[in-house]
Structure 1
């Protein structure tokens, strides 16, 4: 079972339905114990970084995520779920994240319209199981005002340009993060989720 973590941020049902469409069972869960029972973890989300961290901590889900990662379970962070993997967000001054990866979450600037909303290309920086069968430069759907600035270059798995290039995918081991929304990205978005499901099935 793939656990989609419900911490009160985002349209979780659309992610669940997308997994079901590609043939993988996914459940929306709120309890840390259910996260621990899952074979794969998805942390989606939209909204404010600080509110998200407060909700995760209040429910004990921050610890559940860290324990799942320590156990080597496949993990996918989507949009805000990607950003929460990092140490600090500059939203509301400075807000600590989960600290799984080194780096900052920064606001888009560069004279572009915020939020960044719509289709844009992702250029892969390394091969990952998540992008198997997807061409470099493929387009996905974005909705965000902040982006991740990894502290280690080898984390960067994909880059997108919006005013300037920014990191739109990260990967280390079984941990993946994507800034775009696969559940809103048509066929290629479903392929991303299918690839993640296949990875979970092998573990």
Structure 2
């Protein structure tokens, strides 16, 4: 199965490429929108500030082909800030950039005495999660200061498929993973989460 990791200049994403390859995918790192459209699976990584990631995605028309993929039922996986940009917007550093607005809600600073949240955390897995099936007792590696702390399922459009929202806690509860139809995203880094992360990537690949 062909998977494209979209290279829009978000930072070092080679660990994600390697992890997907080990998980069994034929992986290509590219900024070519046509290849991103044609692949069975598309991974949108995210390293850096929300505004920067959104700006770089839009320069390469990322929001357009993500929307086209989803309209055609073609899977997309967002990682870290790649999850955050799928929401309406962010409060990070006074951000004014709108997100891609695939999910309702905003990204806000974690309510914790220790920020960033850096390290391993367990997840309260949604009962209907496909990504995290069989991983209810595992830990995943997080590095972030902001997250979605409101429940996107509350304001979900009933015309679309049911959401699976999984949660983690660092001071306050935040969205650790979200799945709806062909669109999935995780706040943590599966490529840095050992065997649990590899299992998650295999779970995602099995849906392609």
Q: Check whether the contact 2:110–2:172 (CA below 8 A) recurs between aligned residues.
A: no
Q: CA RMSD in A?
A: 1.4
Equivalent runs, 1:81-120 vs 2, <5 Å: 81-93=82-94, 94-110=96-112, 112-120=113-121
Where does structure 1 lack aligned partners over 5 or more consecutive residues?
none
Which structure carries more strand by proportion?
1
Where does structure 2 lack aligned partners over 5 or more consecutive residues?
155-161
Q: Residue by residue, what CA displacement relative to the aligned partner does 1:57-116 show, whole Å, maximum 9, x if unpaired?
A: 111122111111111111111100000110111123232000111111111123x21110
Give the structure 2 partner of residue 19 of structure 1.
Answer: 20
Deviates more, 1:144-153 or 1:97-106: 144-153
Q: Check whether the contact 2:128–2:164 (CA below 8 A) recurs between aligned residues.
A: no
- Find the partner of 2:170 among 162, 165, 170: 162
C-alpha distance in 2 between matches for 1:9 and 1:194: 24
Q: Size of the alignment, in residue pairs?
A: 198
With over 3 angstroms needed to count, the CA separation of the structure-2 counterparts of 1:150 and 1:96, relative to structure 1, is farther
Give the structure 2 partner of residue 139 of structure 1.
Answer: 139
Shift in Å, 1:125: 2.2
- What TM-score, normalized by structure 2, do the two folds share? 0.90
Give the structure 2 partner of residue 178 of structure 1.
Answer: 186
**Which consecutive aligned stretches of 4+ in structure 1 deviate over 6 angstroms post-superposition?**
none
- What TM-score, normalized by structure 1, do the two folds share? 0.92
C-alpha distance in 2 between matches for 1:179 and 1:118: 12
Q: Check whether the contact 1:150–1:156 (CA below 8 A) recurs between aligned residues.
A: no
With over 3 angstroms needed to count, the CA separation of the structure-2 counterparts of 1:122 and 1:116, relative to structure 1, is same
With over 3 angstroms needed to count, the CA separation of the structure-2 counterparts of 1:160 and 1:77, relative to structure 1, is same
Shift in Å, 1:30: 0.2
Give the structure 1 partner of residue 130 of structure 2.
Answer: 129
